[in-house]
Structure 1
């Protein structure tokens, strides 16, 4: 199976100035594409030659896992954005956030702390557990919550390449604008 990046649901300049066109072109068009290319070069002749990204995440190790998980993570990350996003969750997701964190603001604070405070490169995730409750977790490098039996709902990429063009070393500034481009309609559908 040849893996490909899907077309973004918005133009590369649509999230500017929060996330610049240059960042989208580098991060999505070059960096994420490199993971896809690497994965496609690694899997021929292996048990993962015809595997889905989810199967690769669950069963692979080493470079095949890293490139497969990073491909999946980046698709998940970029498809949750919109130039005209729904600003807050509603319905069952809003209820689950209130139940798990006390309020939307308390959730945002906990998630932002996890994103800003992750040492090195990785991802902050909002995940749904088997009992339907929500939790904020951190994953280093290519880590993905599917490997722990959790359902990913939302993620923030805190590898430096995701924000350095626009925010240099100010990860906190990047995390604060991250909330402004999230489309909760997309995130609700994942829940």
Structure 2
């Protein structure tokens, strides 16, 4: 992976990501009543579904081009969702057959594809071409955790740029200390910190910027 390409990605991500994160803290989101979940029938398989892209493929231009977004969403993200569901089915079959010979393999597949599916859903929801800086509760939490906004952006960019191989930079809420922390994730699942809530993610896999 070329360092200049990853650096360019991070510059572009800085322009599009923060406004989407702000949406998590707006009163409209806080007051909106969630839809009543549909209860599956007793024998109905429960599957992960790919969330709709919250904007048109060209909505992030000039930061991320239309073709990159379309391929990333329809091929890569879709593949993680499909493979996550396939792995769940394989595990169902293994339990039915009482055959755990390949359990180590399927556990790895479950973590890899499930984490990939969920992180990509966050990734699309984080971004907006308008960009912006945090306000209100989020701004206060960043001040508490990093002292100032520039400290956060410096650490987040450095973490994302130095991921070994392919992976993610992640801003997460850590409930024990009630503060924000910056994490690196290799692949999708490695180096995770249990119990944290990912809020802002930056995909530094090559498929996020290779066109």
Q: What aligned pairs does 1:50-129 form with structure 2 within 5 A after superposition?
A: 61-85=107-131, 87-129=132-174
| Consecutive unaligned residues in structure 2, runs of 5 or more | 1-45, 94-105
> Does 2:210 correspond to 1:161?
no
Q: 1:133 maps to what in 2?
A: 179
Larger RCO (CA under 8 A, 6+ residues apart): 2
How many residue pairs get aligned? The number is 154
**Contact 1:123/1:143 (<8 A) preserved:** no
The structure-2 alpha-carbon separation of the partners of 1:111 and 1:147, relative to structure 1 and needing over 3 Å to count, comes to closer
| Consecutive unaligned residues in structure 1, runs of 5 or more | 49-59, 166-191
User: Under a length normalisation based on structure 2, what TM-score does the superposition of the two structures give?
Assistant: 0.67
CA RMSD in angstroms comes to 2.1
> Does 2:95 correspond to 1:46?
no
The structure with more radius of gyration? 2
Shift of 1:144: 7.0
Which aligned segments of 4 or more residues in structure 1 are displaced greater than 2 angstroms? 45-48, 144-147
- Supply the distance in 1 between the matched residues of 2:84 and 2:172 (Cα, whole angstroms): 25
The structure-2 alpha-carbon separation of the partners of 1:152 and 1:11, relative to structure 1 and needing over 3 Å to count, comes to same
User: Under a length normalisation based on structure 1, what TM-score does the superposition of the two structures give?
Assistant: 0.74
- Supply the distance in 2 between the matched residues of 1:147 and 1:71 (Cα, whole angstroms): 18
